[in-house]
Each structure stands twice: as structure tokens, then as C-alpha cells.
Amino acid sequence: MGKQKRQKNKPHKKNPTGLLSVKDFETEEIDDITNDDQESALRRVYEEIQSVNIEEKLSGLQTIESMSYNSTLAVQITKNGIAKIIGPLLVDKNILIRTSSASALRYLADNGKMEAHTNLLNDDIMTPLCTLLKQYYIDWQPKDHNEKNKAIDEKEAFIQAVTLLWTLCDHNEFAVKCCNENDIVSILTKFFDITIYGIEIATIITQCLLSLSEDNINAIKKLKNSEDTLNQLLNTEINNASVSEVACFKTAISGLLINLTNYEENTSMNIICKVINVLSDTLSIDCKQLLSNLISILPYEKNAFSSNAKKKVQDNRRIFGAQQQALEILANLCSEDQENENESDLENSDYEIENIDDVCMDDKLYKTMFSLPLEVVEIFNICNIISKVWDKTRIMNTDTIEILEQNVEGKDILKQIHTLNCTAYLCLNNLISCLEIDALGGIENIYRMWTEIGTIVFKDTSANDIELLESATAAMRAAIQKLSEEKVNIFNCLTLADVQPMLNRERQCLNANIQVNLIRILGNLALILRNNDTSEAREIIKHISIFLLDACILESKVWVMAEFLDTIIDIYAEDNSDQLANEIKLLEKLQTLIPCFKNKIRQQKKTLGDNIAIVSTVNMNIMKFIRYKEKRMRNL
């Protein structure tokens, strides 16, 4: 975000309340407001909220909401125990108080992120929030209100409360536990009826239930009673709703159905295929056209942004959100949780292992294959899913970016598109990993994707863009892994100069996940080049190998060190690599690395977490590999 001129924010002399203005709290340049000003203003707002006067109470709640747009203030307000002050107002008899209370808390949670969520939950916000839903909404219907305005206010209060619940459940298991104890799922499922409650409410509760049902068997059992309703909604043609509303609603329903099928022994392929069709429809909406529409709407000056234009922008941005969710659902469809039970004790493991001659160095200890059912592969092909996911990895050109950077709304859109791009790469990673070559469009198409992503990673992306680099290198890694498995011969024209950007990016990289992706990309590249029996290919393999060994020596994290070593073992596992191993003095260098590796295991074994598998694998295999190679290389 571009820097703006610093503005000194002072309370207006004629401000009768003595409070800082809404503008003071919304600006990002809040540094010039003293702590005393903030604390004094907050105290007065808290007093307003606790006033017996309804207008003062509403004024205080609206000020809190305005303050929450500054994330630092949002966290500070939640630290001050705001949940204990506003929480009881969630069940106030006055509908306007309930609405404003739910709205203020919702924006505090949205803008304060994880720290705000924790603060709110520690101050027991779940008790009044669950009480609100049970007390006012078990039998509520919009048509119950004779007064139109009261019906609108009640609807708004419900939407804000459920959005708050959704945010908390999406990030905190304690919130989910409270919902289970209060049977919130049973309250929310009745709102699936779009003929009574409308598509906006149905979408919000579906999104909330989607978060609530993640790895939650209690919620899944309750939702099973609504499975037929969800299926019908997926097939229903919805009139009197915008494209964005339908896309958001049906995509969310799709996610909820997938959550349900994950707990079924015999997964219904019919449901899965219907879901993929819906996700395909969502991804078919042309992002470039949406961006073109947005550019024509967005103002060049901040004050020129009309409410009508703002509504259109929100409508278009909802579609980007639906597409991101569609990509996440597809990615989950193409993955399988692998709980690798590792029974080895790192501390007691011994490098001296018998019968090393019997070890087949080609085998990988951990190599899990996950393949999709044929019906899913077919529907992917029919819906052209690979192409649609690929399109979402690159949406904007330089001109579009320059235009969007001119105002705050445009910058928000840029952030959203960036997240969409990253999600697409992660989805592509999973698709490439679990689909066969033909389903991915053949070797040439995979190679094309690999080279185009390479341009993004090694030329166009800043080293500071961790999110994009991590997701894009994951897709690159999956693509070259697939090419390596096919033993293709496609890098005939590769030179050392072509490889150098990959080595440079690895040197620059401070993020371990990106680093490991790059290590594996280099390893698989070497494996493919091994099929090219040319002096040029051998020189590149040697160059990559020496780079990996030298980088491994300097590595501080033992699990990343294990990735380096495992990659080296892969490259030199075949017997026809003996001469090359001899030329780079591979065994001598590995022998030098072993004491350092073992020492780091002792130091870091308690902090390895999920990375224990790779460390244990290399720990068991490295000496087997060295001894096996030593025996063979004696004969050279």
C-alpha cells in the first residue's frame, strides 16, 4: 500500500462529546494520536455504551464499530474487555441495540484477527451470542413483523450475529465446542429455506455451518438430517437473485455437501459430480471481465465513490470470494490426509544397520499415492477443470494493477486477486499430484505450465511475496515430479544459465517451505536430466548436486537439511550414477555432513512436529545409502 502524507488528527474543538471523530479512527496514520487521547476517548465510549439513554448507547456502539477499522485499535478494544460490556447487549429487548452490538463485535473480530478472537472468547462472548440465537431466532420468521423497518433491523441483527459466529468458529475450536454444547446447528439449519428467509440469510448460515462442520462429527450428525434439502438446493434454479448471490450460495452448499460425504463410508459419486459441476460454473465466470467492470466503476478520487458504485464493487468481489472457495473445495477433493505413523525413535536410532547390501536404494520409505475415482476424473475432463483453475493463476496485467493501485478500494481488490491466484496454484498442485498425465493434458501441457510458473517464480515475483512463492513453487514441484515419474526427455536444450535463477532464488529464500519446494524442483530436474546421456546434462547434474551439498552444510533447520539429503539420495540412487558421484566426491562430502546432521537431530527433535517423518526417514537411510555406494564405487 502506497504511503500517504501524515495528518495530525486532533479532536474538533466544537465536538460536544470530546471524542475523536470517526475519521480519526479510520485513518491508518493513527500514530499522531497520543495514547492519552485514545484512552480518554475509549473511556468515554465505554461510558456511552453503558448509558441508560438509548441514543447514547447506539452512538457509543457505532463509534466502536468505526474504531475497529483500525486493526491495532480493534485488538486494544477487545483487550479492554469490550465483550463483557457489549455482550449482554446482544440480548437486549431493543432491536436497534442488538443490531448495533452484533455489528460492532463482528467488525472487531474481522479486523482484529486472531488476537481479537482470543480476547473475545476469553471474555465469554459465546454465552450471550448463543443466548441471542436461542432466545430470538428459534421460531423467528421475517414475515412475523408488521413493521417493515423492524423486520429489516431483525434480519440485520441476525446476519451480523451469524457472521460473528462464523468468524469465531472458522478460527477457534473453543467456539465450535460452545456451538455443539448449545446445539446451534439445529437452530441454523431451518434457515436453508430461501423461500422464507431469502438467499442472503441462507448463504450466511451455510458459510457458518461450513466452518462449524469442519472435523466436527457432532455437527455432521445434525446436518445429516438436512442432506436431502442441501441436494435439492444444489439443483434448484434460483430466480430474483444476482449472479454473485447464486454463485456464493451454491458454492457454499457444495462445500457443506463435501463435508458430509467425507464422513460416509460409501461416498455418493452422484453428489460429488454435481458439486464439481457447480464449482465449474462458479469458476467459469470471467475474472478478467469482472476486473474490467471494476476498473470502469472505481473512482480516481476518493470522494467520487458513490453508494451505487460501492454496491457494484461488492457484488463483483463476492464472485472472487466464491471462486476462491470453489478452488479450496476442489483442492480438498484432490487430497487425502496421510497420517504417517513413525515408530522410530530418533534419539535411539543407530546408523549402523545390518544387511545393507539387501537395501534397494530406489525405494522411498514414504511414498503415498492418492488417485481420484474414475467418475471424478471424467467430470473434471468434461468440465475442463484444469484449464479453469489455470486461468485463475493469472488474471491481471501490469496496466490493470497500476489502475487499481490508485485508490483504497482498488488496493483491496488487488489483495483479493492475489489470494485467489495463490489458492489457484495450491489447487493446481493437488490436481497435478493426483491426476494421470492424460487427464492433465499430456506431457507438453504440464511442461508448458511448469515453464510459465517458472517465469512467475524466478523473474516476476518479489522475494518478499511469500504467499505467492510458496503456492507457485508447490505447483512447479508437483509438475516436475509428474514429469520425472514419466521419465520424459524434455530438457534437451537446458543450459547452466537456465538453472542459475533457480539456484539464486533458493539462496535468497528465507522461508523453509519455499526452500524445500525449490530443493525438490532441482532434484527432480536432475533426475530428468539423468535420462539425457550428454556431457551438458551431466555437467548440470553435477552443478545442482554440488549446490545442494554446499547449501546443506549451511542449513540450520534439521528437517530442511533432511530434505537436501533425501534429494541427493534420489539423484544418486541408480547404479549408473556411480561415476558422477565419484567425480563430485559425493561420499566424502556426505560423511562430513553426517555428524552435523545427527547433532542437529538431538538439538531439534522436540520441535520437529510434522517434519519428524522426513528426518527419521533420512536418518535411517543415509548410512545405508553411503555403504551401498561405497561397495559399488570400489570397483570403479
Residue 636 confidence (pLDDT) above 90? no
- Give 354's pLDDT tier (boundaries 50, 70, 90): very low
Give percent of the chain with pLDDT exceeding 90: 68
In the three-class reduction of DSSP (H, G, I as helix; E, B as strand; rest coil), residue 298 is classed as coil
Alpha carbon dihedral 132, 136, 140, 142, in 10-degree steps, equals -80
Q: Where is mean pLDDT largest: 35-49, 68-82, 352-366?
A: 68-82
Q: Is the pLDDT of residue 352 over 60?
A: no
482, 498, 540, 553, 571 from 526: Cα distances, Å: 14, 13, 8, 20, 7
pLDDT higher than threshold 70 for residue 2: no
pLDDT band at residue 56, thresholds of 50, 70 and 90?
very high
| Residue 536: all three cell numbers together | 551438458
Lowest mean pLDDT among 353-357, 432-436, 567-571, 591-595: 353-357
Look at 27-31, 144-148, 437-441 and tell me which has the smallest mean pLDDT.
27-31
pLDDT at 356: 29
Question: For the chain, what is the radius of gyration of the CA atoms?
Answer: 29
> In this predicted model, what pLDDT tens digit does every residue of 221-250 receive, in sequence order?
999 999 999 999 999 999 889 999 999 999
Q: What is the pLDDT of residues 460-476, one digit of tens each?
A: 899 899 999 999 999 99
User: Is pLDDT above 70 for 28?
Assistant: no
Which residues touch 575 (CB under 8 Å, ≥6 apart)?
632
Q: Domain limits of the chain? A: 40-182, 264-336+372-490, 502-511+520-635
Residue 22's pLDDT band, with cuts at 50, 70 and 90, is very low
pLDDT score of 518 more than 90: yes
Mean pLDDT value across residues 269-292: 94
The whole model's pTM is what? 0.87
In the chain, how many H helices and how many E strands? 30, 0
Rounded to 10 deg, the angle between the 558-571 and 586-604 helix axes is 150
pLDDT-derived band at 397 (thresholds 50, 70, 90) equals confident
Query: Picking from 44-48, 356-360, 511-515, which range would have the lowest pLDDT averaged per residue?
Result: 356-360
40-182: CATH homologous superfamily? Leucine-rich Repeat Variant (1.25.10.10)
What is the average pLDDT across 315-344? 80
**What does the pLDDT read at residue 297?**
84
pLDDT attached to residue 507: 83
What's the average model confidence in pLDDT over 618-622?
95
Q: How far is the C-alpha of 313 from the C-alpha of 318, rounded, in Å? A: 9
- State the helix-helix crossing angle for 194-212 and 243-261, rounded to 10 degrees: 50
Going from the C-alpha of 371 to that of each of 254, 265, 431, 528, the distances in angstroms are: 21, 17, 10, 23
